[in-house]
Amino acid sequence: MPEKIIHTEGESNTSDARKAWLKKSIGPQSAPLLERDADAFLHQSLSSPCVSTIARAEDIWIEDMDGRRYMDFHGNSVHHIGYGHPRLVAAIKQQLDDLPFAPRRFTNDPAVELAEKLAEIAPGDLGKTLFTTGGSDANEVALKIARAATGRFKTVSFWDAFHGAGLGAASVGGEATFRSHIAGPLMPGTEHVAPFACYRCPYNHAGPDVCGLACAQMVDYVLEREGDVAAVIAEPMRAVPYVPPPGFWKAVREACNRSGALLILDEIPTGLGKTGRMFAFEHDEIIPDIVTLGKALGGGILPIAACIARRDLDVCGDFAIGHYTHEKNPVTARAALTTIEIIEDEGLVQRSDELGRFAMEYMRDQLTDVPVVGDIRGRGLMFGVEIVEDRADKTPGNARAERIYYRCLDGGVSFKISQGCVLTLSPPLTISREDLEAALQVVVGAIRAEAG
């Protein structure tokens, strides 16, 4: 393995576990491409240099150039329907023949049909849409609508949240990776509060009557004290994953209603069935004023995102809030429309709920007695295992988590580590129960091996 791949900036690229795995596992076909990749791309955390290559991606599987196959339990949250779904591939090919592009000032049937479909599946009065090419842009469109509708500019969001890599999205986000190296000030008026984190709360699992929903009350406190907040923007369930306490979003929804702030929910990783509901916020029985979708909307093939707002928030007709070249691209619209149809026709939302319950029960049954496991949490097919050094005080077990990760790669399962120590498992909704159980056995085995 070329030295320039092994010795790169950033802790995640220089750890002993990573170096050992690269030397042992990267084959002769993959090594030259990894070297070219490191030479050609700007290096950044979580992206370049890469850990391996991909030569094929099909259904739940990815395969590198040396023939090593992995069940992909990460997929950047785009692969709800798996990779290369035949129905989606056929629809994209047909659309390329029928109409490959449309300038945004000329409408076309796939774009309108997709906007109508999103209004159909979204609850309440969420019925007006704008398409973008990525989730970060969709969130920034939502912020512009909130400013225009309220005449205010401040926002409230959560530390540790992720809403995209654009400057505005990074400003309302709270992950240090996307904020700490930006020279100069971020967008003004972006207030942050501590996120819900029940797994670390002393009242964990005690219920809202005991915990008092102090995390939600902090949102209410800031809205009341500031008095001129345009919007609260948040992920209804963090993809790391964090599940909100019961009653949290109802309390925040009520606080927004009292203050006149809009509620924007970022469903870019969680929407379209990943958590066992079409939208993650449906678990909490509330409806936001604006919701954003992305990632899986393009079916794991094409990039498209959407900002869906209440109909009465269509207040920006006299100026541009998106103005994207591919705003009404018929090919990406056809991909998104077909993806939603596949999710509906194959019953993938219900499947996510059922398989997610099985996975959580399996992991809890197998790992309850393992001392390096601090918590097991999630919804649907987005769940995680927190690895710790000490279960009592939940000291993060970052090095342990990384060793477990590479053991799982050796076992043919790929996923991501969130926040340094959370094994974050997010398979396609199309995965069979047999493949899911086989992957979980690999993960359980790797955790038990690390625990000794």
Contact 108, 193 (CB under 8 A): no
DSSP string covering 114-155: HHHHHHHHS-TTEEEEEEESSHHHHHHHHHHHHHHHHS--EE
Give, in words, the CATH class of 54-81+348-451: alpha beta
Contact 321, 148 (CB under 8 A): yes
Domain ranges of the chain: 54-81+348-451, 86-345
DSSP secondary structure code for residue 277 in this structure: S
Residue 152 CB-density burial (10 A; 0-12 exposed, 13-18 middle, 19+ buried):
buried
- pLDDT tens track for 26-82: 899 999 999 999 999 999 887 888 888 999 999 999 999 999 999 999 999 999 999
Query: Does residue 300 have a pLDDT over 50?
Result: yes
pLDDT of residue 265: 98
DSSP secondary structure code for residue 194 in this structure: P
Query: Does residue 187 have a pLDDT over 70?
Result: yes
Return the structure tokens found at 389. Answer: 């050094």
Return the structure tokens found at 119. Answer: 């209004």
Query: Does residue 10 have a pLDDT over 80?
Result: no
- pLDDT tens track for 119-154: 999 999 999 999 999 999 999 999 999 999 999 999
pLDDT of residue 9: 28
Task: Name the residue with tokens 């120590």.
Answer: 421
Return the structure tokens found at 309. Answer: 């707002």
Q: Which long-range contacts (CB under 8 A, 24 or more apart) does 342-346 make?
A: 342/81, 342/85, 342/87, 342/88, 342/299, 343/80, 343/81, 343/272, 343/273, 343/429, 346/81, 346/430
Q: What percent of the chain has pLDDT over 90?
A: 79
- pLDDT tens track for 237-283: 998 898 999 999 999 999 999 999 999 999 999 999 999 999 999 99
pLDDT of residue 379: 97
pLDDT of residue 280: 98
Query: Does residue 1 have a pLDDT over 50?
Result: no
Q: Which residues of 414-423 are buried (b: 16+ CB within 10 A; e: fewer)?
A: bbbbbbebbb
- Give kind and range of the element (H or E) at residue 221: helix 214-226
- Cα angle 226, 230, 232 (rounded to 5 degrees) comes to 85
pTM (two decimals): 0.94
Give, in words, the CATH class of 86-345: alpha beta
Mean local confidence (pLDDT), 345-363: 98
- pLDDT tens track for 71-112: 999 999 999 999 999 999 999 999 999 999 999 899 999 999
Confidence of residue 7 (pLDDT cuts 50, 70, 90): very low
pLDDT of residue 2: 32
pLDDT of residue 11: 39
- pLDDT tens track for 371-416: 999 999 999 999 999 999 988 878 999 999 999 999 999 999 999 9
- Report how far residue 330's alpha carbon sits from residue 334's, in angstroms, rounded to the nearest whole number: 6
Query: Does residue 418 have a pLDDT over 80?
Result: yes
Strands in 61-63's sheet, in edge-to-edge order, are 56-58, 61-63, 69-72, 413-414
